[in-house]
Structure 1
Amino acid sequence: MATSVNSKLQQAVTDLADKRAELLVALVRCPSLLGQEGDAQRLMAERLVDLGLEVDVWEPDVDEVRRHPAFCAYPGFEELGYRDRPMVVGRLAGAGGGRSLILQGHMDVVSAEPRAAWAHDPWGGEQVDGKVYGRGSADMKGGLVAALSAVEALVASGIRPRGDVLIQSVIDEEAYSNGALACALRGYRADAAIVGEPTGMEVIAAHAGVSHFRITVEGRSAHPAHKTEGVCAIEKSMLVYRALMDLEADRRARVRHPLFPNGSPVEIVVGTMHAGSWRSSVAGEAVLETRLGFAPGETIEQVQAELVERLRVVSHADPWLRDHPLGLERIGYTASADLPIEHPFVGVVRGVARAGGLGEIELQGHGAGNDMQSLIHHAQTPAIVWGPGASDAAHVANEFVELADVERATRLYAETIAAWCGLAT
């Protein structure tokens, strides 16, 4: 019986190849940049309705989401809000007696600029040699298509899971995971979840927390003819930069997590610096925006306290900074998260991967944030990250995903549903 059901399910996945490609191309052709996710989300909702799922489409209540401690604003949010930026959840009701599963992905994508770097239209969804090119193809519309196609294979086969299966298509992942938070506040949770970010089908069971800070360095402007009367904020900011790099080295030496091969995800990056107001003036101010990574088990409060202390030390050592305190503002963060390797869902996924030809998988840690943390912390749903496409294809020109990878993910998702949720006889 099990072999017959498995064969039926796998044949359905094969038969859906053209529909997967068509949907992926259609989604890539919807430029779902931050604030422009509406068309792509409506298309996703239509396809879920066509499958006969119970579909919930809603625009989150801005005030409700904003009140949550995990909410982080981002540039433009006050103007955007959630008008025409819906969340979409489809539910395939189980027959009863099984465990539930969420398949989650995000519809929002990053900018495709500079366009001149692209050999393919970033919004064209071109198919070349088995690859679909375009912004969001790998990150992560390929994962969303695989999730939908796995459920469609069940429906087409007449196979019903015992536990509920939910497909959650969210927005705002590229901006602090507010969309995943909105789903949790809506009450959506399950016994386990898969986030279909592009991992090359490696299983991510831990990821970094990410914090962003703005550091303001005060100087004193002066005319070049009176340079010695000024204090260059750029020079003082170099003291801050060196202190940040020393903090990174210190944390790298002592912060550890077993799923990160290089020790821990503590990278500190100064991403932008804006200084001065005129090329012929001593810079009177410098503003650095920086990213600090932190490991599962650490909190944003711990990381911020370390940063504050390091800045205090560098300021105390410099007479000017001692009298002109550095400004520090936390401008956003997402928490770190991990799933214990002994969790039953990890065992199920390993078994599915082994049967699917992936061999004995090694759990990995990922040095960036994603929606896994929101599922774990706010929806009380154990989660992993596992999806088609290469992570280094994301956020770059000529982004692509291979259709064969999307098909493989579809098969593995379908088998995971069968193994985790159970199948009704």
Structure 2
Amino acid sequence: MSVDAMATTEENQRRAVLDAVDRLAPRIVQSVADAVKIPSINPKYPGQDYGKLAGGEGEVSALMNDLHREAGASTELVAVEKGRDNACGRIAGTGGVRSLLLNGHVDVVPPNREGLWDKAPFSGLITDEAVHGRGATDNKAGTVAAAYAAIALAAAGIRLQGDLVLQAVVGEEVGDHLSGTTAALQAGYGADAAIVCEPSNFSDASPNLVPTTPGLLWFSLSLVGKAAHSGLRGLTIHPTLEGEALGVNTIDKFWIIYHALRQLEDSWALRDRHPLFQPGYFNLLPGVIRGNPEGVLVPFFLADTLTVEYCVYHHPERSNHEVIDEIEKTVRQACANDPWLSAHRPEFDWKLLWPPYTAPASHELIPAVMKAHSDSVGGFDLATPPKQEGFLGVCDLTWMDAQGIDGLVYGPGVGRTAHAENEYVPIHQIITAVKTYALSAMDYCGVSGTESSINSPTTGRRRP
């Protein structure tokens, strides 16, 4: 076959896939809405009732399992805990050298203050432009889009050379990868590279390509003070009077630590720059604080207990332990300048350590997705590569990396609505993602019967 004939055949195959997606579009949108209507709140999310919520994730996985089967995958529900099934599928290729994994998660965060939603959080409302509800952006649209990419390939009569693996997993929202992504990988549903189908744009524009994610840390600090009557506050805060011998208010003491960590946060904004993240993105968030007199929630005592919970996002080129050391050193130095805190040092509790991830710059999946996005958005004659940027949060690429699988994030959704009221996903992003996943699979895995230079031996890492 001549080079021109090969190019024509390849373009016709790609057009057939794009046409198949357009025909499937109404079903795709309805499936996203159907998934959103299932309140699959992660039962391990802090403050939730596990017994009442366990099983919601499994309902969404059952929906995904049906879609995987329709795509022609051999399927399996992999569960570590009852009712928390991971829908896994594999579409066997004809013998290609590279396989691709499409991964999304079915669990969502709670809807928070439901009275602030314009519509019911789990309405799954479809408008002309979007699907609305908790989980629409994070991450049901991307998870459903991955399944429909496989369905579109089948509808267009495309047979891949390499395997296409599908995962709809539980547990992502709390880092419970041992029940979710890691469990799926250990059950044999791995590949040479992965696309995590999380929302990859902060706005309503087309999905971006995300090759790097920050590190995330969750820690608490606990302080102890000395209780006293509220009428004695004046005597405790003026060192010329009785001072700390009479009482110590932990809320006052926390501000010493708070200001030290704010200064560290400001130094990160100047020092820890990354070309794919906005300056100031890396941060230390004091998101929860509980300070009060022991066992009493009235301000008639000096507060003698305080616990503050911090969420930290750090530069992807820094290790978790390097950042932990810097935070602890900063707090120690702040405490050393205060007589009470130097004698009663706060206690750290490091609750979640989520390492960063960065894809190898030369990984072949990156140009495959860029070309697929360009063809999906701009057609075959207009080059419209996706913008590259760092990820808004963290995702399961970290745990894939631990299993020797490289990848990137690309998916539909509006990042600013994730974990917020009135979450939604634009329909045009969903359809673009389906097309991009399908064409990426063709480029990376190869199409049976089509010779292409992209079907060279994998330069990725070991396949589990």
Whether the TM-score (by the shorter chain) exceeds 0.5 is yes
- Residue 246 of structure 1 is matched in structure 2 by 263
Q: Of residues 47, 65, 78 in structure 2, which corresponds to 1:58?
A: 78
- Residue 222 of structure 1 is matched in structure 2 by 228
Cα deviation, residue 379, structure 1: 2.5
Kindly tell me: are residues 187 and 53 of structure 1, through their superposed partners in 2, closer, same or farther at Cα, counting changes over 3 Å?
A: closer
Match of 2:399, SS?
Answer: helix
Q: Do 2:90 and 2:189's aligned partners in 1 also have CA atoms closer than 8 Å? A: no
Match of 2:211, SS?
Answer: strand
- Residue 197 of structure 1 is matched in structure 2 by 198
- Residue 272 of structure 1 is matched in structure 2 by 288
Distance 1:48 1:355 in 2: 25
- Residue 7 of structure 1 is matched in structure 2 by 15
Aligned length: 402
Q: Of residues 366, 380, 405 in structure 1, which corresponds to 2:429?
A: 405
- Residue 79 of structure 1 is matched in structure 2 by none
Bigger mean CA deviation after superposition, 252-261 or 116-125: 252-261
Q: Which aligned pairs between 1:126-205 and structure 2 lie closer than 5 A?
A: 126-178=125-177, 179-200=180-201, 201-205=207-211
Q: Do 2:78 and 2:184's aligned partners in 1 also have CA atoms closer than 8 Å? A: no
**Which 5+ residue runs of structure 1 have no aligned equivalent?**
61-81
- Residue 110 of structure 2 is matched in structure 1 by 111
Match of 2:390, SS?
Answer: strand
TM score, norm. by length of structure 2: 0.83
Q: Do 1:176 and 1:333's aligned partners in 2 also have CA atoms closer than 8 Å? A: no
Q: Of residues 5, 21, 30 in structure 2, which corresponds to 1:22?
A: 30
Distance 1:113 1:141 in 2: 18
**Which 5+ residue runs of structure 2 have no aligned equivalent?**
1-8, 44-55, 202-206, 237-245, 450-464
Distance 2:14 2:299 in 1: 69
Cα deviation, residue 265, structure 1: 4.3
Distance 1:146 1:367 in 2: 20
- Residue 77 of structure 1 is matched in structure 2 by none
Q: Do 1:207 and 1:369's aligned partners in 2 also have CA atoms closer than 8 Å? A: yes
Q: Of residues 298, 315, 321 in structure 1, which corresponds to 2:341?
A: 321
Match of 1:279, SS?
Answer: coil
Distance 2:143 2:434 in 1: 10
Kindly tell me: are residues 159 and 83 of structure 1, through their superposed partners in 2, closer, same or farther at Cα, counting changes over 3 Å?
A: same
Q: Which aligned pairs between 1:18-97 and structure 2 lie closer than 5 A?
A: 18-35=26-43, 36-60=56-80, 82-97=81-96
**Identity across matched positions, percent:** 30
Q: 1:75-108: CA deviations, max 9, x gaps?
A: xxxxxxx221111111111111241111110100
The one-letter code sitting in structure 2 at the alignment partner of 1:365 is: G
Match of 2:256, SS?
Answer: helix
Distance 2:150 2:67 in 1: 11
- Residue 363 of structure 1 is matched in structure 2 by 388
Distance 1:283 1:313 in 2: 23
Cα deviation, residue 172, structure 1: 1.2
Q: Do 2:71 and 2:148's aligned partners in 1 also have CA atoms closer than 8 Å? A: no
- Residue 255 of structure 1 is matched in structure 2 by 272
Bigger mean CA deviation after superposition, 50-59 or 203-212: 50-59
Distance 2:21 2:440 in 1: 14
The one-letter code sitting in structure 1 at the alignment partner of 2:39 is: P
Cα deviation, residue 138, structure 1: 1.3
Establish whether residue 211 from structure 1 lines up as the match of residue 187 from structure 2.
no
The one-letter code sitting in structure 2 at the alignment partner of 1:409 is: A
